Homo-oligomer: A and B are copies of this chain.
């Protein structure tokens, strides 16, 4: 039996942040069908494994614990596998990076598809996306990323913040390759950190199985179609 069950749609997007960490620590996990996740998310909160509005949900079978919300799942795994710095400020900055990533996913999908991209709205947004990239680059630079032994990004043993950054920018620009030059220009050190993580055997294997399962999908749905149309 697998150590964990991850409940998430069969796409990268938010689920890939969790998968990347599970792969890194060599944990075993299974996943459930979209039909089952649909049914679970609409259950009365009191019979859900943890009250949640939508996936991801991660169940740790040994601990008999279920956690919802990407940020909370990453905090859980980060604590369990010692992937969060002990220093209070660096720990908080790890949570900041996770919160930034969450905001960027919301923005890129116009809040889970509440609206659709137009050529005009995308061109208005692009400078803001570039600024987000610069923010990651700058935060990394301040904390030693240029020396490849950063304290918050590019950490020696790789941290939750490193994987979050890799999945955010690496997966996004992998699935939407027109954005890769934007990342390389706005955040070259982040792009190179992401590539370094992508080259690890566990992450290469994850990418292969994910590509086989999800194809070119990133966030999926009409919003992905609208995003691809304007990029």
- Segment of A29-37, A106-114, A205-213, A217-225 in the binding face: A106-114
Please give, as numbers and ranges, the residues of chain B lying within 8 Å of A73 by CB-CB distance: 92
Q: How many residues of A contact B (CB 8 A)?
A: 46
Interface centre among A71, A73, A96, A98 (most CB of B within 10 A): A96
Please give, as numbers and ranges, the residues of chain B lying within 8 Å of A103 by CB-CB distance: 53
When all copies of this chain in the complex are counted, the total is: 2
A76 near B: Cβ within 8 Å? Answer: yes
Q: How far does the alpha carbon of A63 sit from the alpha carbon of B87 in the complex, in Å?
A: 11
A146 near B: Cβ within 8 Å? Answer: no
- On whether the beta carbons of B89 and A65 are closer than 8 Å, the reply is yes
- On whether the beta carbons of B92 and A53 are closer than 8 Å, the reply is no
Task: Select from chain B the residue with minimum beta-carbon distance to A104.
Answer: B53
Task: Select from chain B the residue with minimum beta-carbon distance to A136.
Answer: B51
Task: Select from chain B the residue with minimum beta-carbon distance to A111.
Answer: B111
A134 near B: Cβ within 8 Å? Answer: yes
* Complex interface bits, A45-73 against B, C-beta within 8 A gives 1, otherwise 0: 11000111100000000010101111111
List 5 other contacts, CB 8 Å, given A79-B88, A79-B91.
Answer: A50-B139, A68-B96, A73-B92, A110-B114, A114-B114
